[in-house]
Homo-oligomer: A and B are copies of this chain.
Amino acid sequence: MAPTPWISFTTDYGLADGFVAACHGTLARLAPTARVIDVTHLVPPGDVRRGAAVLAQTVPYLPAAVHVAVVDPGVGTARRAIALAAGDGLLVGPDNGLLLDAAVALGGVSAAVELTNPDWLGTQLSATFHGRDIFAPVAARLALGAPLADAGPAVEPGTLVRLPTPLVHAEPDGFTAEVLTVDHFGNVQLAATGALLEPLPQALWVTQRPAGPDHVGAPAVHARTFDDAPPGGLVVHVDSAGLVAVAVNGGRAADRFGVVPGDQLRVTAG
Protein backbone atom coordinates (compact mmCIF):
# COMPACT_ATOMS: atom_id res chain seq x y z
CA MET A 1 0.00 0.00 0.00
CA ALA A 2 1.31 3.42 -0.88
CA PRO A 3 1.99 5.75 2.03
CA THR A 4 -0.88 8.00 3.10
CA PRO A 5 -1.26 11.02 0.86
CA TRP A 6 -1.26 14.06 3.14
CA ILE A 7 -2.84 17.41 2.37
CA SER A 8 -2.44 20.51 4.54
CA PHE A 9 -5.03 23.28 4.37
CA THR A 10 -4.65 26.96 5.28
CA THR A 11 -7.24 29.68 4.66
CA ASP A 12 -8.89 32.88 5.86
CA TYR A 13 -12.35 31.26 5.57
CA GLY A 14 -13.10 31.29 9.30
CA LEU A 15 -14.81 28.43 11.10
CA ALA A 16 -18.41 29.64 11.24
CA ASP A 17 -19.48 28.96 7.63
CA GLY A 18 -19.42 25.79 5.54
CA PHE A 19 -16.52 26.94 3.35
CA VAL A 20 -13.81 24.81 4.96
CA ALA A 21 -16.09 21.75 4.98
CA ALA A 22 -17.02 22.19 1.31
CA CYS A 23 -13.29 22.01 0.51
CA HIS A 24 -12.79 19.01 2.81
CA GLY A 25 -15.74 17.37 1.03
CA THR A 26 -14.26 18.06 -2.37
CA LEU A 27 -10.95 16.53 -1.25
CA ALA A 28 -12.78 13.52 0.22
CA ARG A 29 -14.76 12.88 -2.95
CA LEU A 30 -11.74 13.05 -5.25
CA ALA A 31 -9.05 11.62 -2.93
CA PRO A 32 -10.82 9.57 -0.24
CA THR A 33 -7.57 7.97 0.94
CA ALA A 34 -5.90 11.32 1.58
CA ARG A 35 -5.79 12.77 5.08
CA VAL A 36 -6.01 16.48 5.76
CA ILE A 37 -4.18 18.52 8.41
CA ASP A 38 -5.78 21.92 8.95
CA VAL A 39 -3.07 24.51 9.55
CA THR A 40 -5.45 27.36 10.39
CA HIS A 41 -8.56 28.92 8.90
CA LEU A 42 -8.31 32.05 11.02
CA VAL A 43 -5.87 34.04 8.92
CA PRO A 44 -7.38 37.56 9.10
CA PRO A 45 -9.55 38.03 5.98
CA GLY A 46 -7.33 38.90 3.00
CA ASP A 47 -4.11 39.07 5.06
CA VAL A 48 -1.74 37.40 2.60
CA ARG A 49 1.37 38.24 4.65
CA ARG A 50 0.00 36.60 7.78
CA GLY A 51 -1.06 33.53 5.78
CA ALA A 52 2.40 33.30 4.23
CA ALA A 53 4.11 33.52 7.63
CA VAL A 54 2.01 30.88 9.38
CA LEU A 55 2.31 28.48 6.44
CA ALA A 56 6.09 28.92 6.13
CA GLN A 57 6.61 28.34 9.86
CA THR A 58 4.42 25.22 9.92
CA VAL A 59 5.36 23.23 6.80
CA PRO A 60 8.75 22.08 8.17
CA TYR A 61 6.87 20.06 10.80
CA LEU A 62 4.30 18.51 8.45
CA PRO A 63 4.76 15.22 6.60
CA ALA A 64 5.49 15.34 2.87
CA ALA A 65 2.23 16.77 1.59
CA VAL A 66 0.27 18.83 -0.88
CA HIS A 67 -0.16 22.15 0.92
CA VAL A 68 -3.26 24.05 -0.18
CA ALA A 69 -3.48 27.66 0.94
CA VAL A 70 -6.17 30.16 0.07
CA VAL A 71 -5.95 33.77 1.21
CA ASP A 72 -7.13 35.33 -1.96
CA PRO A 73 -8.57 38.84 -1.96
CA GLY A 74 -8.19 38.87 -5.75
CA VAL A 75 -10.36 35.78 -6.33
CA GLY A 76 -12.09 35.93 -9.70
CA THR A 77 -9.68 38.52 -11.15
CA ALA A 78 -6.82 37.90 -13.57
CA ARG A 79 -4.44 36.74 -10.82
CA ARG A 80 -3.04 33.31 -11.66
CA ALA A 81 -3.85 30.10 -9.83
CA ILE A 82 -0.63 28.15 -9.38
CA ALA A 83 1.01 25.01 -8.04
CA LEU A 84 4.66 24.81 -7.03
CA ALA A 85 7.04 21.95 -6.33
CA ALA A 86 9.43 22.61 -3.42
CA GLY A 87 11.49 19.99 -1.62
CA ASP A 88 9.29 16.99 -0.91
CA GLY A 89 6.14 19.10 -0.99
CA LEU A 90 3.73 20.66 -3.44
CA LEU A 91 2.02 24.00 -2.84
CA VAL A 92 -1.32 25.01 -4.38
CA GLY A 93 -2.97 28.44 -4.21
CA PRO A 94 -3.23 31.90 -5.71
CA ASP A 95 -0.20 33.66 -7.24
CA ASN A 96 -0.13 36.52 -4.76
CA GLY A 97 2.95 35.71 -2.68
CA LEU A 98 1.14 33.45 -0.22
CA LEU A 99 3.10 30.30 -1.11
CA LEU A 100 6.65 31.50 -1.62
CA ASP A 101 7.94 31.70 1.95
CA ALA A 102 6.72 28.13 2.50
CA ALA A 103 8.43 27.07 -0.72
CA VAL A 104 11.69 28.50 0.61
CA ALA A 105 11.16 26.68 3.93
CA LEU A 106 10.72 23.43 1.99
CA GLY A 107 13.91 23.94 -0.02
CA GLY A 108 13.00 26.38 -2.79
CA VAL A 109 10.79 26.29 -5.89
CA SER A 110 11.84 23.54 -8.29
CA ALA A 111 8.86 23.81 -10.65
CA ALA A 112 5.80 25.99 -11.09
CA VAL A 113 2.66 25.65 -13.21
CA GLU A 114 -0.46 27.69 -13.83
CA LEU A 115 -3.68 25.80 -13.06
CA THR A 116 -5.48 25.96 -16.37
CA ASN A 117 -6.25 22.32 -17.21
CA PRO A 118 -10.07 22.29 -17.27
CA ASP A 119 -10.17 18.52 -16.63
CA TRP A 120 -8.61 19.13 -13.21
CA LEU A 121 -11.09 21.68 -11.99
CA GLY A 122 -14.48 21.20 -10.37
CA THR A 123 -17.48 20.64 -12.64
CA GLN A 124 -18.81 23.94 -11.32
CA LEU A 125 -16.59 27.01 -11.41
CA SER A 126 -17.80 29.88 -9.24
CA ALA A 127 -16.25 33.33 -9.46
CA THR A 128 -15.73 33.67 -5.71
CA PHE A 129 -14.93 30.24 -4.23
CA HIS A 130 -11.80 28.94 -5.92
CA GLY A 131 -10.82 26.99 -2.81
CA ARG A 132 -13.68 24.62 -3.51
CA ASP A 133 -13.71 24.84 -7.31
CA ILE A 134 -10.01 25.04 -8.29
CA PHE A 135 -7.51 24.59 -5.47
CA ALA A 136 -9.08 21.60 -3.68
CA PRO A 137 -9.71 19.61 -6.89
CA VAL A 138 -6.13 20.22 -8.04
CA ALA A 139 -4.71 19.30 -4.64
CA ALA A 140 -6.71 16.06 -4.58
CA ARG A 141 -5.31 15.01 -7.97
CA LEU A 142 -1.75 15.90 -6.96
CA ALA A 143 -2.15 14.01 -3.67
CA LEU A 144 -3.12 10.91 -5.62
CA GLY A 145 0.09 11.20 -7.65
CA ALA A 146 -0.95 12.98 -10.85
CA PRO A 147 2.04 14.77 -12.41
CA LEU A 148 2.37 18.48 -11.67
CA ALA A 149 2.99 19.17 -15.34
CA ASP A 150 -0.51 17.92 -16.18
CA ALA A 151 -2.09 20.68 -14.10
CA GLY A 152 -1.19 23.37 -16.63
CA PRO A 153 1.66 25.11 -18.44
CA ALA A 154 4.97 25.82 -16.72
CA VAL A 155 5.42 29.22 -15.14
CA GLU A 156 8.81 30.91 -14.97
CA PRO A 157 9.49 31.12 -11.18
CA GLY A 158 10.92 34.63 -11.62
CA THR A 159 7.48 35.86 -12.65
CA LEU A 160 5.71 34.71 -9.49
CA VAL A 161 4.24 37.52 -7.39
CA ARG A 162 6.35 38.17 -4.29
CA LEU A 163 5.50 39.92 -1.03
CA PRO A 164 7.78 42.75 0.09
CA THR A 165 10.65 41.55 2.29
CA PRO A 166 10.03 42.62 5.88
CA LEU A 167 12.48 45.18 7.25
CA VAL A 168 15.44 43.91 9.29
CA HIS A 169 18.22 46.40 9.98
CA ALA A 170 21.38 45.50 11.90
CA GLU A 171 22.83 48.32 13.99
CA PRO A 172 26.09 48.70 15.97
CA ASP A 173 24.45 47.89 19.32
CA GLY A 174 21.47 45.77 18.18
CA PHE A 175 18.87 45.76 15.43
CA THR A 176 15.52 47.11 14.26
CA ALA A 177 13.05 44.64 12.77
CA GLU A 178 9.50 44.52 11.55
CA VAL A 179 6.85 42.68 13.56
CA LEU A 180 6.07 39.57 11.52
CA THR A 181 3.30 38.02 13.63
CA VAL A 182 1.55 38.33 16.97
CA ASP A 183 0.50 34.93 18.26
CA HIS A 184 -2.43 33.76 20.40
CA PHE A 185 -0.43 34.46 23.57
CA GLY A 186 0.46 38.01 22.54
CA ASN A 187 4.08 37.12 21.80
CA VAL A 188 5.60 39.51 19.24
CA GLN A 189 7.62 37.70 16.59
CA LEU A 190 10.12 39.84 14.68
CA ALA A 191 11.45 39.22 11.18
CA ALA A 192 14.99 38.99 12.63
CA THR A 193 16.65 35.59 12.88
CA GLY A 194 18.20 34.40 16.11
CA ALA A 195 21.72 35.16 14.87
CA LEU A 196 21.07 38.88 15.35
CA LEU A 197 20.15 38.38 18.99
CA GLU A 198 22.93 35.97 19.92
CA PRO A 199 25.79 38.54 20.36
CA LEU A 200 23.70 40.86 22.54
CA PRO A 201 24.16 40.93 26.33
CA GLN A 202 21.64 39.80 28.93
CA ALA A 203 20.37 43.31 29.64
CA LEU A 204 18.41 44.66 26.67
CA TRP A 205 16.27 47.66 25.80
CA VAL A 206 13.25 47.39 23.49
CA THR A 207 11.84 50.49 21.79
CA GLN A 208 9.04 50.98 19.31
CA ARG A 209 10.20 52.56 16.05
CA PRO A 210 9.79 55.28 15.01
CA ALA A 211 10.07 56.45 18.61
CA GLY A 212 7.30 58.81 19.66
CA PRO A 213 6.84 60.67 22.97
CA ASP A 214 5.05 57.62 24.42
CA HIS A 215 7.68 55.22 23.21
CA VAL A 216 10.52 55.53 25.65
CA GLY A 217 11.07 51.80 25.55
CA ALA A 218 11.44 49.24 28.26
CA PRO A 219 14.14 47.02 29.75
CA ALA A 220 14.13 43.35 28.81
CA VAL A 221 16.08 40.19 29.54
CA HIS A 222 17.88 38.29 26.78
CA ALA A 223 16.82 34.80 27.81
CA ARG A 224 15.82 31.31 26.84
CA THR A 225 12.23 31.12 28.07
CA PHE A 226 9.47 33.23 29.59
CA ASP A 227 10.22 32.35 33.17
CA ASP A 228 13.73 33.82 32.93
CA ALA A 229 12.14 37.22 33.60
CA PRO A 230 10.17 38.04 36.75
CA PRO A 231 6.36 37.86 36.38
CA GLY A 232 5.28 40.69 34.09
CA GLY A 233 8.86 41.21 32.88
CA LEU A 234 9.94 41.42 29.24
CA VAL A 235 11.89 38.59 27.61
CA VAL A 236 13.63 38.68 24.24
CA HIS A 237 14.31 35.15 23.03
CA VAL A 238 14.69 32.95 19.97
CA ASP A 239 11.26 31.44 19.43
CA SER A 240 10.25 27.98 18.22
CA ALA A 241 10.50 29.14 14.60
CA GLY A 242 14.07 30.38 15.06
CA LEU A 243 13.08 34.06 15.00
CA VAL A 244 13.57 36.76 17.63
CA ALA A 245 10.44 37.25 19.73
CA VAL A 246 9.49 39.65 22.50
CA ALA A 247 7.36 38.16 25.26
CA VAL A 248 6.05 39.03 28.71
CA ASN A 249 6.28 36.39 31.45
CA GLY A 250 2.62 35.66 32.15
CA GLY A 251 1.39 38.51 29.94
CA ARG A 252 0.94 39.80 26.40
CA ALA A 253 3.88 41.65 24.88
CA ALA A 254 1.78 42.90 21.96
CA ASP A 255 -0.49 44.75 24.37
CA ARG A 256 2.50 46.17 26.24
CA PHE A 257 3.84 47.84 23.10
CA GLY A 258 0.60 48.25 21.20
CA VAL A 259 2.20 46.80 18.09
CA VAL A 260 0.69 44.90 15.18
CA PRO A 261 2.37 43.16 12.23
CA GLY A 262 4.15 45.69 10.06
CA ASP A 263 5.18 47.87 13.01
CA GLN A 264 8.85 47.93 14.04
CA LEU A 265 10.72 47.26 17.26
CA ARG A 266 14.32 48.13 18.04
CA VAL A 267 16.31 45.80 20.32
CA THR A 268 19.60 47.08 21.72
CA ALA A 269 22.03 46.48 24.56
CA GLY A 270 20.30 48.00 27.60
Q: Which residues of A contact B (CB under 8 A)?
A: 3-4, 6, 8, 13-26, 28-29, 32, 35, 37-43, 45-46, 54-55, 57-58, 61-63, 73-77, 126-129, 132-133, 181, 183-185, 224-227, 237, 239-240, 250
Q: Which residues of B contact A15 (CB under 8 A)?
A: 15, 40-42
Contact B75 A22 (CB under 8 A): no
Shortest Cβ distance from A45 into B: residue: B185
Interface contact B225-A16, CB-CB below 8 Å: no
Nearest CB in chain B: distance from A123 CB, A: 11
A19 cross-chain contacts in B, Cβ below 8 A = 183-184
A40 neighbours in B (Cβ, 8 Å): 15-18, 20-21
CA distance A21 to B57 in the complex (A): 10
Residue of B nearest to A79 (CB): B227
Contact B184 A240 (CB under 8 A): no
Across-interface contacts of A17 in B (CB, < 8 A): 40, 54, 181, 183-184
- List of B residues within 8 angstroms of A63 by Cβ: 25, 28-29, 32
Q: What's the Cα separation between A163 and B128 when bound, in Å? A: 29
Distance in Å: Cβ of A52 to nearest Cβ of chain B: 12
Bound: A128/B185 CA distance, A: 12
Residue in A26, A28, A39, A250 whose Cβ sees the most chain B Cβ within 10 Å? A28
